[in-house]
A and B are shown apart, each in its own frame.
Chain A
Amino acid sequence: MKLYMTEGSGNAYKVRLLLSMLDVPYEKAIVDFKSGEHKKEPFLKLNPRGQVPVVEDGGRTFWGSTACLAYVARKHGGEKWLPTEPTAMAEVMQWLEVAQNELHYGLQWARGVVTKIRAVGNLEEYSQYGRNGLALLEGRLAKNEWLALGRPTIADVACYPYVSVAPEGNFRLEDYPAVMAWVKRFGALPGWVKRV
C-alpha cells in the first residue's frame, strides 16, 4: 500500500493515523506542494481533484480522506472501525460528514487563513462554522467517550486532526472541555502517531 501525502496535510494525517493504529505497513510518497506537483500530471491522473491523500493498493487508487479511511478500515479493520450493519455504519458516517463539513470548511479553512496557507476566504464565516462543529462535538462527547458506537472508529480518526490543531485557527478549545478530554483520550490510543 502506498500513501501519497504531505507531512503537513491533516487529511493525509487521518489515513496515517488509521494505518498506524491498525499496524498496516505502507510506503509514504511525499508530494511536493511547493512546486505544485499535486496540480500537475502525473499526480492528476491519480486524483483529478489535485489533493492528498491518495491511497494506491493492488493496482487501484482511491482519493479523498473519507474514501481512503473507508478502504483501510474495511480491508484491515474488520467490523470494528467501519461496520457495514446499517445503523452502526450510519452512526459512523454522520461524524465523517461533520469532518467533511463544519470541521473542513470551518476549522481547517480558518486555520488555513490564519496561518496563511490559504490565500482567500472569509475568516469570520469559517470561524462560525468551526464553532458550530466544535459545539456539535462537545454535545456528543459530553455524554459519550467516542463519537460513535461507544468505541474508537474512523469517525474519531476523521475528526481528530483538525480539532487537535484548532487553536492554530484561533479557536479556544478551553470552551469545549469534553472535546479536550477526547483529544487526550484519542492521543493515548495504541498506535497513535504525531502529526509531523
Chain B
Amino acid sequence: MKLYVSARSGNSYKPRLLLALLNVPYESVEIDLAKREQKQPRFVALNPRGQVPVLEDEGAAYWDSTAILVYIARKHGGEQWLPADPAEMAQVMQWMALAQNEIHYGLQFARAIIHFSRPGSLEECQAHGRTALRVLDERLGRDAWLALGRATVADIACFPYVALAPEGGIPLDPYPGVLQWIGRIKALPGYVPPPSLKPSGARARAGVQH
C-alpha cells in the first residue's frame, strides 16, 4: 500500500491517522505542493483532480480522503470503523458528509485563506465553520464519539480540520464537547498528531515550507 501525501495537508492526514490506528504498514510518498507536483501529468494520471491524498494498492489508485478512508476501513477495520449494516453505515456517513461540507468549506478554507492566501470570503467560511462546530458540540455534549458510541471513520474524517480550527481564526473554547472529543482521539492507541503551522523542531530542521 502506497499513500501519496503532503505533510501539511489535513486531508492526507486522515488516512495517515487511520492507518496508524489500525497499525497497517504503508509506504508514504511526499508530493511537493509548493512545486505543484500534484498538477503534473504523472500525478494527474493517478488522480484527475490533482490533489492529495491518493492511495495505491494492488494495482488500483483511489483518490479523495473519504473514499480512501472507506477503502482502508473496509479492508483492514472489519466491521468496527465502517460497518456494512444500513443504519450503522448511514450514521457514520452523516458525519463524513459534514467533514466534506461545513468543515471543508468552513474550517479548512478559513485556515487556507489566513495562511495559504486562498481567495474567498473569510467571514463566510468562518460562519460555515461555526455551524459545523455547533452541530458537533451538540452531538459530543451527549456522546463520546460521533457515531455508534465508538471511534469510527466519522471521527477520523472530522478531526483534522476541527483540531486545526484555531489556525483559521476560530477558537474552540466555546465548544467544550468538541475539546473533550479531541482529547479522546489523541488518547487512541496508535494516534499520530495532525500537521500544525506551529514550527516543530523536526519540521523546521527538515525545511518544510507552509
Contacts and interface: CB of A to CB of B under 8 A. Distances in A.
A121 B120 CA distance: 9
Interface of A: 48-49, 55, 58, 60, 62-68, 70-72, 74-75, 84-87, 89-91, 93-94, 96-98, 100-101, 104-105, 120-122, 125, 132, 136, 139-140
B96 interface: yes
B22 interface: no
A121 to B, nearest CB: 8
Interface in B92-126: 93-94, 96-98, 100-102, 104-105, 119-121, 124
A86 B74 contact: yes
Interface residues of B, number: 41
A71 to B, nearest CB: 4
B64 A97 contact: yes
Given A62-B94, A67-B97, A97-B100, A74 B60 contact: no
Contacts of B94: 62-64, 66-67
Given A67-B94, A71-B87, A49 B100 contact: no
B90 A68 contact: yes
A98 B48 CA distance: 11
B93 A49 contact: no
Nearest to A92: B67
B195 to A, nearest CB: 21
Contacts of B135: 48-49
Query: Closest 8 A-B residue pairs measured CB to CB?
Result: A71-B90, A74-B86, A90-B71, A93-B67, A67-B93, A75-B86, A86-B75, A86-B74
B74 A66 contact: no
Nearest to B147: A67
Nearest to B100: A100
B44 to A, nearest CB: 10
Contacts of B62: 90-91, 94
Nearest to A50: B131
A140 to B, nearest CB: 8
B71 A86 contact: yes
Nearest to B105: A105
Interface string B8-36: 00000000000000000000000000000
A182 B98 CA distance: 28
A64 B98 contact: yes
B104 A101 contact: yes
A126 to B, nearest CB: 11
A105 B121 CA distance: 14
A67 B67 contact: no
Contacts of B98: 49, 64
A65 B101 CA distance: 12
B124 A120 contact: yes
A84 B94 CA distance: 17
Nearest to B57: A87
Interface in B70-99: 70-72, 74-75, 84-87, 89-91, 93-94, 96-98
14 contacts: A48-B138, A49-B102, A62-B87, A65-B97, A67-B90, A72-B86, A86-B74, A94-B64, A97-B66, A101-B100, A120-B121, A122-B119, A139-B48, A140-B48
Interface in B137-192: 138-139
A87 B60 contact: yes
